[in-house]
Amino acid sequence: MMTHAAPLPAAADRPTGLWLAGARGSVATTTVVGLLALQRGLVEPTGCATTRPPLDDVALPAWSRIHIGGHDVVSTPLETRADALADAGVLPHGVLAAVRPSLAGIDDAIKCRPDPAPGVDVQESAVRSLAADIADFRQRRGLERVVVVNVASTEPPCAEEAWHHDAGLLTQALADPGKVALPPSSATALAAIRAGCPYVNFTPSPGIRLPVLEKLVTAAGLPYAGSDGKTGQTLLRSALGPMFAARALRVRSWSGTNLLGGGDGATLAGCGAAASKLRSKSRAVTALFGDVTAPLHIDHVPDLGDVKVAWDHVAFEGFLGARMALQLSWTGYDSALAAPLVLDLCRLVAAAHAAGLAGPLTALGCFFKDPVGSNVHGFADQWRALTDWAATLPRAGRSR
Amino acid sequence: MMTHAAPLPAAADRPTGLWLAGARGSVATTTVVGLLALQRGLVEPTGCATTRPPLDDVALPAWSRIHIGGHDVVSTPLETRADALADAGVLPHGVLAAVRPSLAGIDDAIKCRPDPAPGVDVQESAVRSLAADIADFRQRRGLERVVVVNVASTEPPCAEEAWHHDAGLLTQALADPGKVALPPSSATALAAIRAGCPYVNFTPSPGIRLPVLEKLVTAAGLPYAGSDGKTGQTLLRSALGPMFAARALRVRSWSGTNLLGGGDGATLAGCGAAASKLRSKSRAVTALFGDVTAPLHIDHVPDLGDVKVAWDHVAFEGFLGARMALQLSWTGYDSALAAPLVLDLCRLVAAAHAAGLAGPLTALGCFFKDPVGSNVHGFADQWRALTDWAATLPRAGRSR
Amino acid sequence: MMTHAAPLPAAADRPTGLWLAGARGSVATTTVVGLLALQRGLVEPTGCATTRPPLDDVALPAWSRIHIGGHDVVSTPLETRADALADAGVLPHGVLAAVRPSLAGIDDAIKCRPDPAPGVDVQESAVRSLAADIADFRQRRGLERVVVVNVASTEPPCAEEAWHHDAGLLTQALADPGKVALPPSSATALAAIRAGCPYVNFTPSPGIRLPVLEKLVTAAGLPYAGSDGKTGQTLLRSALGPMFAARALRVRSWSGTNLLGGGDGATLAGCGAAASKLRSKSRAVTALFGDVTAPLHIDHVPDLGDVKVAWDHVAFEGFLGARMALQLSWTGYDSALAAPLVLDLCRLVAAAHAAGLAGPLTALGCFFKDPVGSNVHGFADQWRALTDWAATLPRAGRSR
Amino acid sequence: MMTHAAPLPAAADRPTGLWLAGARGSVATTTVVGLLALQRGLVEPTGCATTRPPLDDVALPAWSRIHIGGHDVVSTPLETRADALADAGVLPHGVLAAVRPSLAGIDDAIKCRPDPAPGVDVQESAVRSLAADIADFRQRRGLERVVVVNVASTEPPCAEEAWHHDAGLLTQALADPGKVALPPSSATALAAIRAGCPYVNFTPSPGIRLPVLEKLVTAAGLPYAGSDGKTGQTLLRSALGPMFAARALRVRSWSGTNLLGGGDGATLAGCGAAASKLRSKSRAVTALFGDVTAPLHIDHVPDLGDVKVAWDHVAFEGFLGARMALQLSWTGYDSALAAPLVLDLCRLVAAAHAAGLAGPLTALGCFFKDPVGSNVHGFADQWRALTDWAATLPRAGRSR
């Protein structure tokens, strides 16, 4: 008989899995190399908000307790991608050299899973295999839990379907050899649910936001978060926008352009995926200022590599109608901005899962361009919501 | 026994004076023209934060209840200055035409008060006259209270003196014909205290921040606010800085340049006054990021007129040491940015006075580059402090 | 018998007509108001290259000798448009007030000519009427010559047709009531040719560039110039591009965005017209750097009014592959940039006509984004070609 | 009697020395590593104007014929500096690895020469030793000629002295143990003259521009060039400025800021050296636009390393007084911009020497902020002067 039961183990004390969908992409590779470097104490955790007050006081999985798994449609070794990122200025050559021997081991934990072919495969088997892979990863490594994070290529928006709303219709669709029903990001979300894992959508792809999946995840008692990591231009907008509103300055237009190279740039040059991204990006401006003119472009400029350049022009009106303007130009490494957020999200979602929370984690809105379950876009308000929420989680000992 | 006691008059219901030190300058003239336009319903109160939720619910003096008085060292008619501001794009020609007939009346309420000459005059008599002018203005107009706001030219920092700390020594110094003791902004502050009026320093001049004056104002039961209106570059910095901190991005340098024409530009081209301004501006960066490299310049570029152009370059470091940069370029009309804040401050300080508050109004920090009594510089935190404080003030009826 | 013939009258000595196609638009209105102001000596000829050395020494029509005529599809009075331009900051209120009485007289010289309706009208009659209008204008005013300048709205590119190449087929097409054959800009060009007038295309519309028209104009012994006035972003590119080439710096991408309001912005928001403009703009980059990545956008931002904001990001590579970047941000009034070029072109083309030149005036390439008869895009080379050519023209007396 | 005279050897055919004053600095190290990489065919000659038409047709020393020597006040090995430059992103790690074995050999050819101490040493001996070193380098390596290029730290402007104008007084001053007479850059110039070598001043230091040295160098039949390599902000200004002039646009102010880290930034943070640099920079604006407002700053921002960020704000006026603005932001690696110019200058000055030219090489003005013997600052005009001059030099065979 268990009496005087010891308190539930805090999240920070237990091994945690980080399962990356798109595990061989730039963001994933930067996350992996960065985690290895943090585990070895080679670098400061710059960019990781969970290592700074007040979040550093919350019981979260230590770097040493985080294990990487994942899947991807391609099988390029991590080392190959990491070398390219080092040449592009994202990964320091010295850091990569130090962690290089560990990359092959992580390669082994990444499954190659091509998307099922429409008209040939049923998607049900792909979902089932993926769920089994995740569960197997958890069991073999003795993990307390696994957080599934989607960092795969952006998908186009998907058209409304009847089976987006009904579990029975979904089951039929998945088993139909004539079609593949779910977008890959949503198939991953379903596999995560089946494996009993919380899910984070770091892209604007549909993911878990189909109504049927939102019902299933909540019914399963699992938390989820998303969508679309807020890494640059939208981050700036969400920090500056509320200032204009508080000062009663009238924003008349907020025009923007993004230049990006790399894989993400090539994907977003395809109109469909760009539509997802632009839709996600424009939500913040609309939420903050209503129906202002806000043209926005994403251009693929291959020579920029992993660099993203964002330019914003804000035309605003002040006292007595005075016309004024603000211009912003942001030059950043997309993967270097995203990777620490992936680690932060893994830790915070693990803590949410440990705390027994289910459904959309609205308190994590500051991480996303298009936050689930929230229309709050101002960064300061989002940050306050995060820290207020974090204050309700168990504390770590000060020995960290 | 208190029976049938009438409720205390709400601030909004009573006539309020706005006494402008530097009443013939660009900021003052824009404030005056703007107030007249608001009183006539000619323009929207763009830029006036007190007209927007949640502040619009607080009992504050209506536009129609605000009366302008003031003093200046020069006697140029307001109309002359207003015409120059219209040509410079700050004041719309149509609005100026509509309020022009009222300017002469306001001219009459502005005293010409040259600064006393060192070695000839005693400053005591200047202070006494100014206090009498303010009190006279209050009485003749039947005002409930007068808020004194310093919008005169920026003064250089002043060296430490013994009489900055001791009321007796101050009295002696003011009566000494051999010297003039107080900087003009501080003489105005002392006159305000003697006349029983709250004081706002909208410039980085010493004003009320000499310890002896801070003691006197608090002893007199009067509130005060300052210093140095946060209108542009520092406003942006205080909105963006906390975002970098929350995201654990390491700001390595924050370099800035200001180009401005007009009277303010000419004043600040003199090294002394620029030193005040630069000191005030750099406080925010230091408070937010500690000891980062933060060179800052103010250049006088006469052809820009009332336009101020501010450029900022922020070099920051992200995950794994990635080097990134943000550039900001702000083009605004200095007076158009300042004037609505002067009106907001007049209304809020009037409400504070009506509520019986004394000492530094730290809740008004969001209006200032160098907020009295506070080391909070992040705009969102300041805004929250303001709205929390405003929620403690009496409400206005919804009939406004 | 005429012997001892007097020398040919220099262009500067004779009255010259400036016939504006699109005479009620922003560029035309600014041109008209500016010319009136120059005739009265109210303003300096800022922006008019022909008033500066070495061009000021060439015999060109004086301001007082230039007479305005034109046509437009709309009939809005010039005064209405001029008032809007004054409110937008393009025309100084004082200047407009001074020339306002003369605007009605110019209105009288502008014909309202709606485009013929396809399926109803034959275009031949429209062309004939227009040619007659121009000839009538020349005769009534006693003008030595008339320069026709197209400043009407940008048209989409037109598909290739057989009658673009053959005068006979063209004649048939113009007379066919079932169709309207020529784009409006080309119909204007044909009318100009028939009236014996030189033609300038200040827009990227097809204009005179259909092969059949280029044959006709040359056969008629008339000079022509175009296309698409180089007023801002392309002007900068053509000044900076050759510097990169001369320095052997490798431009890797040249990305651009344009924000513009006003009528031009609305027209260019339609995909067809924007295609013309973008095609014209991209020619310079391709000519200068070959096949580099050069994404370019034009966004309609109505609140900007006549302001055009152009942003360019140039990624270039230096010694040992070092990656560097240049960003440009240009904020200008589109009509204020265009109008003095229209006046310059009128004067220079008049001089070319006086000198008996026929065919494309390649020496005028510096005025155009897409210069006829030339693949030289570098501004300095174009400028040198202009000044070399101008040196072959008759000199004016120094009395000007 | 000269019979059977062999034709004069073409410059390209003979070994040429490049003697670097400041041979251990960033510019010199980048030059050395770059030359080694070019000699091995590891990189393209990006940034070297002499490798592109029309200059590639001139007979100039091939990369393989250029030998490096030099002196510096410090003795840090080139490898140490090169590693720092690789970490800073200036030198590619792979290129440095490939040429690393050759660096020690070049270290051996660099003399450590501390500046003589005032009051202790006579400078005459330092000048004599340096001249002997250069001559010795030429003889031992069997060089046809040596071009001395000053890339040492910028010196402050020097006050006018009598011995700046008189060779006899100079001789006395150099021999006086009580003082050191010449600035180091001028001592180097004198040593070059004595060794019979052409001299190039790539910095704004006084160098050869003291009148007495200009007389001596011309009397010696030697050519010289300078001053202050035009690498970034001034390069842009000289490309754009003439466009404004040609277009009759009135530049009203041209304001600039430079941020730079590295050794150059630290040197220029000292007021004296910055004064030299700012004086040199401002010459171009004044030459182009006359007496416009042109504030300019250089800030030392250590975290930027070798990166230089330059921001320019150009306020200009167009037709009818319309106010417009251009902003430029340039982010470049200072050493990567300078080094290919050093190589170009070495080759061109060698050709000038081979051609028997003496005195200031005004045709090389496009390389310099403050060109000797010329007030032409527009880049296109300078470029044309260079190519016109180059056309007078002997041609290389097409076999290069």
Which tens digits make up the pLDDT trace of C55-100? 999 999 999 999 999 999 999 999 999 999 998 889 998 999 999 9
> CB–CB of A235 and B243 under 8 A?
yes
Among D93, D327, D329, the residue with its CB nearest the CB of A93 is: D93
State the SS3 of A264-309: HHHHHHCHHHHHHHHHHHHHHHHHHHCCCECCEEEEECHHHCCEEE
pLDDT band of D25, cuts 50, 70, 90: very high
User: H or E segment at B272?
Assistant: helix B271-289
Q: Please tell me which residue of chain A has the smallest CA distance to D94.
A: A87
Six-digit token pair at B321? 């040491």
pLDDT at C142 over 70: yes
Q: Does A303 touch chain D (CB under 8 A)?
A: no
Q: How many CB atoms lie within 10 A of CB B75?
A: 12
Nearest residue of C to residue A309, measured between CA atoms: C313
Residues of chain B with pLDDT under 50: 1-7, 9, 398-400
Q: Is A327 near chain D, with CB under 8 Å?
A: yes
In terms of Cβ atoms closer than 10 Å to its own Cβ (0-12, 13-18, 19+), residue D392 is: exposed
CB of B339 closer than 8 Å to CB of B34: yes
Mutate which: A251, A252, A282, A299, vs C, most C CBs within 10 A: A299
Within an 8 Å CB–CB cutoff, is residue C6 touching chain D?
no
Chains touching C, CB cut-off 8 Å, 3+ pairs? A, B, D
Calculate how close chain B gets to C255, using CA atoms only, in Å: 18
Facing residue for C332 by CB, picked from D91, D92, D324: D324
pLDDT band at A218 (very low <50, low <70, confident <90, very high): very high
Instruction: Give the integer Cα–Cα distance in Å for B84 and B77.
Output: 12
Strand ranges, E, within D151-245: 199-201, 223-226
CA–chain centroid gap for B74, Å, is 20
Q: Is A327 on the interface with C (CB under 8 A)?
A: yes
d(CA B197, CA A364): 47
B303 touches chain C (CB under 8 A): no
- Is residue C183 pLDDT above 70, yes or no? yes
Which chain C residue shows the shortest CA-CA distance from B94? C87
Average pLDDT, chain A: 91
Whether the CB-CB separation of B209 and B185 falls below 8 Å is answered with: no
The DSSP call for residue D143 is -
Interface test with B, best of A247, A343, A366, A384 (most B CBs within 10 A): A247
Closest CA to B241 of B279, B205, B171, B289: B289
Contact with chain D for residue B331, Cβ under 8 A: yes
pLDDT digits (tens, 9 = 90+) for D206-248: 999 999 999 999 999 999 999 999 998 999 999 999 999 999 9
**Contact state of B89 with C93 under an 8 Å Cβ cutoff:** no
Answer whether residue D9 shows pLDDT above 70. no
Crossing angle of helices C233-246 and C271-289, in 10° steps, is 20
pLDDT of residue D286: 80
Of D282, D345, D344, D293, nearest to D315 by C-alpha is D293
Of the partner residues D252, D301, D315, the one whose CB lies closest to the CB of residue B255: D301
Phi–psi pair at B14, nearest 5 degrees: -120, 145
Q: Which chain C residues are within 8 Å of B89, Cβ to Cβ? A: 89
Q: What is the pLDDT of residue C261?
A: 86
pLDDT band at D119 (very low <50, low <70, confident <90, very high): confident
pLDDT exceeds 60 at position C143: yes
Q: Which two tokens stand for residue A398?
A: 């000060």
Interface test with B, best of D271, D296, D313, D316 (most B CBs within 10 A): D313
Give the side-chain half-sphere CA count within 13 A for B5. Answer: 6
Test B318 with A333 for CB contact under 8 angstroms. Answer: yes
pLDDT grade for D2, boundaries at 50, 70 and 90: very low
**Pairing mode of beta strands B296-300, A110-112:** unpaired
How far apart, in whole angstroms, are the C-alpha atoms of residue D4 and residue C164?
69
pLDDT at D6 over 70: no
Q: Is C390 on the interface with D (CB under 8 A)?
A: no
- Determine contact: B251 vs chain A, CB below 8 A: no
Residues of D in contact with A93 (CB under 8 A): 93
Q: Which residues of B touch A332 (CB under 8 A)?
A: 318, 322, 324-325
Q: Does B318 touch chain D (CB under 8 A)?
A: no
Using a CB-CB distance cutoff of 8 angstroms, which residues of chain D are in contact with residue A89?
Answer: 89
Name A97's Cβ contacts closer than 8 Å, sequence gap at least 6.
none
- Helix B211-219, helix B167-175: angle, nearest 10: 110
Contact B327 C327 (CB under 8 A): yes
Torsion of CA C242, C244, C250, C253, to 10 degrees: -80
Q: What is the mean pLDDT of residues A366-378?
A: 93
Q: In the predicted model, what is the mean pLDDT of residues A379-399?
A: 88
On chain A, the residues whose CB falls within 8 A of the CB of C297 are 257, 295, 297, 299
**pTM for the full model?**
0.94
The CA-to-CA distance between both ends of chain C, in Å, stands at 34
pLDDT at residue B400 in the model: 39
Chain centre to alpha carbon of residue C84: 22
| Average pLDDT of span D66-91 | 95
pLDDT at A5 over 50: no
Task: Summarize the confidence of residues D292-302 as an average pLDDT.
Answer: 90
Confidence of residue C270 (pLDDT cuts 50, 70, 90): low
Do residues A228 and A342 lie in contact, with contact meaning Cβ atoms separated by under 8 Å? no
- C128 CB near a chain A CB, below 8 Å? no
Q: Sorting pLDDT into bands at 50, 70 and 90, what band is A11?
A: low
* Residue B368 DSSP class: B
Contact between residue A273 and residue A155 where contact means Cβ atoms under 8 Å apart: yes
Whole-angstrom distance, CA of residue C289 vs CA of residue C248: 11
What tens digit of pLDDT does each residue of A119-171 get?
888 899 999 999 999 999 999 999 999 999 999 999 988 888 999 999 999 99
Residue numbers of D between 30 and 59 with CB closer than 8 Å to C: 30, 33-34, 37, 43-49, 51-52
In this complex, how many residue pairs, one in chain C and one in chain D, have their CB atoms less than 8 Å apart? 187
Distance, in Å, from the CA atom of C364 to the CA atom of C357, rounded to the nearest integer, reads: 13
Nearest beta carbon to residue D89 from set A89, A327, A329: A89
Give pLDDT tens digits for A266-288.
676 666 677 777 777 777 778 87
Distance from C-alpha of B37 to C-alpha of B43, rounded to nearest angstrom: 6
Task: Tell me how far apart the alpha carbons of residues D33 and D271 are, in angstroms, rounded to a whole number.
Answer: 31
Instruction: Give the separation between CA C232 and CA C225, rounded to whole angstroms.
Output: 19
Show residues of chain D in contact with C251, CB under 8 Å.
none
As a whole number, the mean pLDDT across chain C is: 91
Q: Are A296 and A229 in contact (CB under 8 A)?
A: no
pLDDT given for residue A259 in this prediction: 94
Name chain C contacts of A252, Cβ cutoff 8 Å.
Answer: 303
B311 inside 8 A of chain A by CB: no
Share of chain A above pLDDT 70, in %: 93
pLDDT of residue A271: 60
Find the DSSP H helices in chain A: 26-39, 78-87, 93-108, 123-141, 167-175, 184-194, 211-219, 233-246, 262-269, 271-289, 334-354, 379-390
- Say if the Cβ atoms of D327 and A327 lie within 8 Å: yes
Q: Cβ contact (<8 Å) for C293 and A301?
A: yes
| Rounded-to-integer distance, Cα D284 and Cα A399, Å | 61
Cα–chain-centroid distance for residue C190?
16
The answer to whether residue B97 neighbours chain A at the CB level (below 8 Å) is no
Q: Which two tokens stand for residue C190?
A: 């044909």
D329 touches chain A (CB under 8 A): yes
Q: How far apart are CA B338 and CA B370, in angstroms?
A: 15
Cβ contact A326–B321 (<8 Å) = no
